[in-house]
Amino acid sequence: MLNILKNAGTLAILMLFSLTSCGEGDQIRGIAFHNATLVDAVNGVRASQTVVFDGDRITFVGPTTNAPAAARSIDATGQFLIPGLWDMHVHLTYDDRFTEIMPESFLRYGVTSVRDTGGLLEKLLPVVERMRSLDTLAPRVYFSGPLLDGEFVVYDGSSVPEIGTQNLTAEQATANVVKLRNAGASFIKIYEMVSPAVFDALVAAARDNDMPIAAHVPLALTASDAGPRVGTMEHLRNVELNCASNWEELLATRRQLLKNGDALAGHPLRASLHKLQRLPAIAALDEQQCAAVLSRLTGTIQVPTAGLNTIALNPMFERHDWNDALAHMPDAVQEDWQDVPDWLPVDKSERDTTFARYTMRMIGRMHAAGVPIGAGTDTPIAYAIPGYSLLNELEILVKSGLTPLEAIESATIRPAEFLSLQDEMGTIDVGKRADLVLLDANPAEDINNIRRIAMVVAAGNMVPD
């Protein structure tokens, strides 16, 4: 369906060429939204504006009264335009049932760019190639390749999908980064089981190869140590361990257990450490210690994956619009996701919400401390429908203390900044890429209005046309 729409876009451009060849005015190009209210995180709210885009570039932004003629005009009176949204944490190849439908699902909900934060190159590269091909209408995609893990790989393909790779030594770590750069990766993803020496090597190699870093805080390190050395931290993972009054003792215990005397596989080893330390650390949170940790993180974007972390408190599958969203998923997924996940009690009152409540408080605390927040979902993990889950994420960020405009910032200019693309994307300005979402209600007033999507423009293509 999307391919046909894209061809319709091409037709519009052909039409435009025939107009100019008739000598009807050389300037008449592009598509215009007239009389819209623009909402973006840098320019704020601008009323009665026209936005013209020509192919994949915005060519005019200004008062409708001054707008140039365009080949096609759309009256957007009473409507709102925001920049195309990003999901900063997706896994396109985590579950084969989703790979095919993900691009269309993202676009349906206004997600025009995604950051794939972990997948094996042999599976991921064909998917990326297809998404980037001219015949496909898909979000822009930036990828890291596999999770760069330590001796004990968490996602090793045994009990969980294989999306991680081992880095035993600094030399191996350096070689892996070079290989990823040569394969076209835009950034690297450092995972939880790396040793401090391998972490150092990965950071140095990323810098040498000009690649930003996304990371889980490695269990052998602390957030205040690892965080300032990476571009984004994911899931708030292991921040609680550093905010605890007894953080030094917790770290020493972890380092001992990471020697893995019981010879566990990576996944159970990591799970055992979280089980041992996460909830006690949350209970032992020390205000001063935490303030000191957060003061080190003001230059690192946090991607808290709030929807994932707070699923016990904010279950997407209990929303009124869940069934409509699920209906777009493949049949096998619809069957699977009919019921509450088996790891969550059906009875709401029996759900442990400690980590969920901690997550929302921590997001608010970070935000107040000047730590930048980024929006990501981990889709398709844990019932996160591609695209739909990003809109849910923004709602939870607002519930955690961000304003609606700041939530929009977390899904537009923040991700662009991570990849140094802020001059290309993230706001509605002349010269920027033509990624836009047209809404029927004001998202700056109520973030839930971001669900009222009338049209999505992805790289200058209109969905639906």
The alpha-helical segments, DSSP class H, found in 345-432 are 354-368, 388-399, 404-410, 413-418
Handedness of CA 377, 413, 79, 52 (dihedral sign): negative
Determine if 417 is a binding residue for Zn ion (CB under 5 A). Answer: no
The alpha-helical segments, DSSP class H, found in 187-243 are 196-208, 223-226, 239-243
Residue nearer to Zn ion on the CB measure, 16 or 154: 154
The CA distance from 103 to 410, in Å, is: 21
Contact letters for Zn ion, residues 93-122 (x by CB under 5 A): ------------------------x-----
Q: Residue 216 Cβ, how far from Zn ion at the closest point, in Å?
A: 9
Q: Residue 155 Cβ, how far from Zn ion at the closest point, in Å?
A: 9
Residue numbers 248-287 binding Zn ion by CB under 5 A = none
Nearby residues of 332 by Cβ (< 8 Å), 6 or more positions away: 97
Q: Residue 106 Cβ, how far from Zn ion at the closest point, in Å?
A: 16
Determine if 378 is a binding residue for Zn ion (CB under 5 A). Answer: yes
Q: Residue 234 Cβ, how far from Zn ion at the closest point, in Å?
A: 6
Determine if 192 is a binding residue for Zn ion (CB under 5 A). Answer: no
Count, residues in the chain = 465
Within 13 Å of residue 2, how many CA atoms lie on the same side as its CB? 21
Q: Residue 381 Cβ, how far from Zn ion at the closest point, in Å?
A: 6
Residue nearer to Zn ion on the CB measure, 160 or 175: 160
Residue nearer to Zn ion on the CB measure, 113 or 117: 117
Q: Residue 140 Cβ, how far from Zn ion at the closest point, in Å?
A: 19
Neighbours of 253 (CB within 10 A): 14
Residue nearer to Zn ion on the CB measure, 226 or 444: 226
The CA distance from 433 to 36, in Å, is: 18
Q: Residue 213 Cβ, how far from Zn ion at the closest point, in Å?
A: 15
Residue nearer to Zn ion on the CB measure, 80 or 98: 98
Radius of gyration of the chain from its Cα atoms, rounded to whole angstroms: 23
Contact window for Zn ion (CB under 5 A) among 68-76, 258-266, 365-373, 374-382: 374-382
- Phi and psi dihedrals of 209, rounded to 5? -100, 10
**What are the distances in angstroms from CA 249 to CA 82, 216, 233, 242, 254?**
47, 20, 23, 10, 9
Nearby residues of 36 by Cβ (< 8 Å), 6 or more positions away: 49, 50, 51, 76, 77, 79, 80, 81, 438
Contact letters for Zn ion, residues 61-100 (x by CB under 5 A): ----------------------------------------
* Closest residue to bound Zn ion by CB: 378
- Residues near Zn ion (CB under 5 A), total: 2
Residue nearer to Zn ion on the CB measure, 144 or 427: 144
The alpha-helical segments, DSSP class H, found in 227-353 are 239-243, 247-257, 266-283, 287-295, 306-309, 322-326, 331-336
Q: Residue 118 Cβ, how far from Zn ion at the closest point, in Å?
A: 6
Residues that bind Zn ion (CB under 5 A): 117, 378
